[in-house]
Structure formats: C-alpha cells, structure tokens
Amino acid sequence: MPDNKKRSDCPISSSLEVWGDKWSLLIVRDLMFAKQCTYGDFLKSAEKIATNILASRLQTLEENGIITKSDHPDSKAKVLYQLTQKGIDLLPLMVEINLWAEKYYDLPADRKASLNEVKKDKEGFIKKTARELKKSSY
Amino acid sequence: MPDNKKRSDCPISSSLEVWGDKWSLLIVRDLMFAKQCTYGDFLKSAEKIATNILASRLQTLEENGIITKSDHPDSKAKVLYQLTQKGIDLLPLMVEINLWAEKYYDLPADRKASLNEVKKDKEGFIKKTARELKKSSY
DNA sequence: TATTTTTGCTTGCACTTTGCAAGTACAAAT
DNA sequence: ATTTGTACTTGCAAAGTGCAAGCAAAAATA
C-alpha cells in the first residue's frame, strides 16, 4: 500500500505521515532504549502489539528509512532490526515526549529517576545515547 | 467513548494514547504557531481534515486537558479553542519535530528560514513562544 | 535422523475507525 | 424575512485494527 499522497509541505504533517500512529514510536523506543531488535522482542513489549500490525509498521518504518532489516549475527532464523541515522535523530524528540509525559502522567519510580538524570544534562544524554546507537550499527 | 485501557505505564505509550494519530498534533500546531483557534480555522488548514474527525479530535484533546473550549469574544456563533498549560508544554516536542523534519524532508524556504532562527536559540524561542501563548489565554 | 520448537511472518474475519457528502441548528449579516 | 456563517452531527462505504490461526524455514532436541 503505497501512501503517496502528501497532505501538505508542513514538517509536522510530513512527520506524522511517517510515524503518526499509536505504535510506530513504540518500536523506535524499543530500539532506542530497550535495545530490543528482533520481531519477537517487539511482540513481547508491554503494550502487546498485534503481529500483523507489527509487520505492517516495521515495513513502513523501513520504507521511510527509519529502520533497517539485516541478518542477525546469532541465527539465520532471526532478523536484526536497527535504527538508521534518521531513526537515531528521533532521539531528541523521544526525550521531549518522556519529559512531557513525566510532567502530566504517573510513571514508575525508576523511570522518574532516570528522567531526572536526563534533565540534569539533556544535551549530554542525547549525545551519549546517540553515540552508543551508532556504535551498535555497522 | 471512554478510552480507559492504559496499555502500559510507559510515558511514550501514555503520550501516544492521547495524541498519537495523524491529526491531533496538527490541531496543536495551528493553535501554537498559526494562531488559528476556531473550528472553521482548523477546517481551512492545508491538510483538509474531515469535519467529523476534527470534532472527534477536539473532543479527545479537550478530555485530556490539552485544549479548552470557551466563548469567542467576537461572536456567540464562534467557539474559541485554546491550548492549556499542558498543551503549551508540547512546544519543545513540536520544535523537535520541526527540526527532525527539516533534516529529512523538503520544506518551503520560509519555513527553513524561521527554523534556522529557532536553531540559533532554541531555549529562547521556546520561552518567548510559550510566554506569548500564555498571554493570549486568560 | 526425525521430531519439536523457535522465529518471522501471512491470512481470515469480525469489529472499529476513517473519510466523504449531506444535513441540522443557532447566530449574524443582508 | 432570507441568506450566510459557524459548529457541529449523521449515514455509509472503504480502509484499518486486533485477535486467532496458519505457515515455512531454521534451530534445537531426542
């Protein structure tokens, strides 16, 4: 299903056309923070995504250059999903989502604690995490 | 339609449950940057949202405390939609979306120019814009 | 070597949401 | 008094979602 129709040339609109749904950024989150990178990993996440939806979202994320599929080093049966640079560049956005949600929603104590670390040095956290994500891709 | 089922206590997931769709953040954008604040204004935006979808999104944004409805000063026939503090606090997120999209999608020259201003002093832009949004609410 | 399990999907189907067009009710303008 | 503007609601076909089941190749186990 090619989603060719650009609604407008607004950057917000273009972005939402790629990842503006309830699931895509959860996959990015898993790749970014939880280091989960196989199909089965994503299925196991707390939000219980349906397998057909997962397959569909992985495909559109790949088509839009946010993730890549490659052979998993451990097994031919596994597929390794990884963030591209375009995907890694979503990190500042993901940090802001976390900070916004922290202000308005209850979240687990450990999450709050690590977000306080992020707040102390947002730039530093982003640089460090981006560097780590880059290292793990090759 | 009460959407009571929380998928998880992850802040990303909680956020996406509120505004994780293709339209909600466009309404926020209109309120934030284009100073559009009536039902008709939203309908007129470039992306051509369907009227029933607009009504539905305005309702959930209001239910989730991101916008408020009030009497329009100009006319009893009009309704004034405004961002709450919770809505204004989405500003850093909206800025990051703009910056991400600027890197990967073509956008109009005037948009690029104003984003370059934002990049020069991100903090300053956010503070200034948030202050203006607060002034216009009462 | 044969069988079972793991892994990454696809398919079928009921249910929900979306998007387009049309309609409605009240306020304001003519 | 009639038309226009504004904020919606309603009907309906088409598309998308979510659950369960199925499937094929690879890996692990017997």
* pLDDT tens digit sequence for A12-65: 999 999 999 999 999 999 999 999 999 999 999 999 999 999 999 999 999 999
Give which of B13, B17, B22, B32 is closest to B63, Cα–Cα: B17
Looking at the complex, does the CB of residue A98 fall below 8 Å from at least one CB of chain B? yes
Give dist(CA A18, CA B100) in Å, integer: 12
Q: Which of A3, A15, A119 to mutate to test the interface with B (most CBs of B within 10 A)?
A: A15
Q: Cα-flanking dihedrals φ and ψ of residue A81, to 5°?
A: -100, 135
Nearest by CB to A9, from B17, B97, B107: name it. B107
Q: Which of B10, B60, B64 to mutate to test the interface with A (most CBs of A within 10 A)?
A: B10
pLDDT exceeds 70 at position A4: no
User: What percent helix, strand, coil does chain A show, rounded to 5?
Assistant: 60, 10, 30
Chain A 36-75, CB < 7 Å to strand D: 48-53, 56, 75
Asked if B56 contacts B110 with a C-beta cutoff of 8 angstroms, the reply is no
Q: Which amino acid is at A41?
A: D
Residue in chain B nearest A95 by alpha carbon: B93
Asked if B34 contacts B93 with a C-beta cutoff of 8 angstroms, the reply is no
Q: Cα-flanking dihedrals φ and ψ of residue B68, to 5°?
A: -125, 150
Asked if B29 lies within 8 A of A22 by C-beta distance, the reply is no
Give which of A75, A71, A105 is closest to B13, Cα–Cα: A105
Give dist(CA B37, CA A27) in Å, integer: 34
**What is the per-residue pLDDT across A97-108, written as a single tens digit (0 to 9) for each?**
999 999 999 999
Nearest by CB to B10, from A10, A46, A104: name it. A46
Helix (H) or strand (E) holding A77: strand A75-83
- Domains along chain B with CATH numbers: 11-136 (1.10.10.10)
pLDDT at position B62 is: 98
Mean pLDDT of B110-136: 96
Nearest by CB to A46, from B8, B23, B108: name it. B8
Asked if A92 lies within 8 A of B100 by C-beta distance, the reply is yes
In which residue are the tokens 């977000």 written? A115
Give dist(CA B126, CA A109) in Å, integer: 28
Question: Cβ of residue B69 near strand D, that is under 7 Å?
Answer: yes
| Exposure of A118 in the CB half-sphere (CA atoms within 13 A) | 19
Q: Which residues contact A84 (CB under 8 A, 6 or more apart)?
A: A65, A66, A67, A68, A137
Checking ipTM against 0.85, whether it exceeds it is yes
Q: Which amino acid is at A75?
A: S
Chain A residues near residue B23 by CB distance under 8 angstroms: 16
Asked if B100 lies within 8 A of A90 by C-beta distance, the reply is yes
**What is the per-residue pLDDT across A58-86, written as a single tens digit (0 to 9) for each?**
999 999 999 999 999 999 999 999 999 99
